[in-house]
Amino acid sequence: QVQLVQSGAEVKKPGSSVKVSCKASGGTFSTYIISWVRQAPGQGFEWMGRIIPILGVTNYAQKFQGRVTITADKSTSTAYMELSSLRSEDTAVYYCARGDRGAWYFDPWGQGTLVTVSS
Amino acid sequence: QSALTQPASVSGSPGQSITISCTGTSSDVGDYNYVSWYQQHPGKAPKLMIYDVSNRPSGVFNRFSGSKSGNTASLTISGLQAEDEADYYCCSYTSSNTLYYVFGTGTKVTVL
């Protein structure tokens, strides 16, 4: 059974960057598609981008293009999401979630990482 | 790309059936059978309840069912139970050139 475990909460200053990790266990990491999705307080979900580790291919939502970088380390079955030029509106819970080629849904999700951007 | 439209809240008594709608466009819900539904309890990560419009993952009770007509997908919960009280979100693949997935606005289900 696949499990995704994310890194802990972060507090960042405006203009800085944050890097969140997502470690997978219980499956074949390199064949997954890992997406990152965020949820601002009291709001809905926003898809940010994804990576296909076996191909090293990334796709980003246009809204975040240039500010987000998603990477993966196959040796440790860990995906990373780095968001730069942080502003207060980036305060949110960031989730990683597994997809699969030909499977356009997310299952499972990581537990979420709260990123707070505050001066 | 706008979010898919869901009712803000739906309520029902235990044992009743409720239906949550999810309205998109011909660029997402209407043109692809890649609609999924997620249940989220407060402070918890989302859980997949339905994928590809009407398929249930193993472990999800058959009280949950999904369907689609035109640009609108629906999630029906039959035999409503107290533990079904949660937020529900739909999600669809989209052919938009700005992103791959679009989520719904979310629906708060209250069990009276």
| pLDDT single digits (tens) B11-33 | 999 999 999 999 999 999 999 99
For the cut 80, the answer to whether the pLDDT of residue B1 exceeds it is no
A107 in B contact zone (CB under 8 Å): yes
User: Look-up: residue for tokens 């994310």?
Assistant: A6
A31 falls in which pLDDT band (50, 70, 90)? Answer: confident
A3 in B contact zone (CB under 8 Å): no
The Cβ of residue B59 has, within 10 Å, a number of other Cβ atoms equal to 7
Which site among B50, B100, B102 would you substitute to test the A interface, given the most A Cβ atoms closer than 10 Å to its Cβ? B100
User: Look-up: residue for tokens 């076996």?
Assistant: A54
The Cβ of residue A114 has, within 10 Å, a number of other Cβ atoms equal to 15
Residues of B in CB contact (< 8 Å) with A are: 3, 32, 34, 36, 38, 45-48, 51-52, 57, 89, 91, 93, 97-106
Q: Under an 8 A CB cutoff, do B51 and A103 touch?
A: yes
Query: pLDDT value at position B2?
Result: 86
Query: pLDDT value at position A78?
Result: 95
Closest CA to B71 of B104, B100, B106: B104
Q: What is the pLDDT of residues A70-106, one digit of tens each?
A: 999 999 999 999 999 999 999 999 999 999 888 899 9
Chain A residues lying within 8 Å of B46, measured CB to CB: 45, 95, 97, 106, 109
Query: pLDDT value at position B8?
Result: 97
What lies within 8 Å, CB to CB, of A84 at 6+ separation is A16, A17, A67, A68, A69
Residues in a beta bridge with B102:
B92
Query: pLDDT value at position A116?
Result: 98
Whether the bond between B57 and the residue before it is cis, its omega within 30 degrees of 0, is: no
Mean pLDDT across the stretch B34-54?
A: 97
Percentage with pLDDT > 70 across chain B: 100
Looking at B37-46, B55-64, B89-98, B100-109, which range is the least confident one? B89-98
User: What average pLDDT does chain B have?
Assistant: 96
Angle, alpha carbons A76-A22-A75 (nearest 5°): 10
Q: Under an 8 A CB cutoff, do A104 and B93 touch?
A: yes
- State the DSSP code for B54: T
Which site among A22, A45, A51 would you substitute to test the B interface, given the most B Cβ atoms closer than 10 Å to its Cβ? A45
Mean pLDDT across the stretch B80-97?
A: 95
Chain B residues lying within 8 Å of A1, measured CB to CB: none
Q: What is the pLDDT of residues A38-80, one digit of tens each?
A: 999 999 999 999 999 989 899 999 999 999 999 999 999 999 9
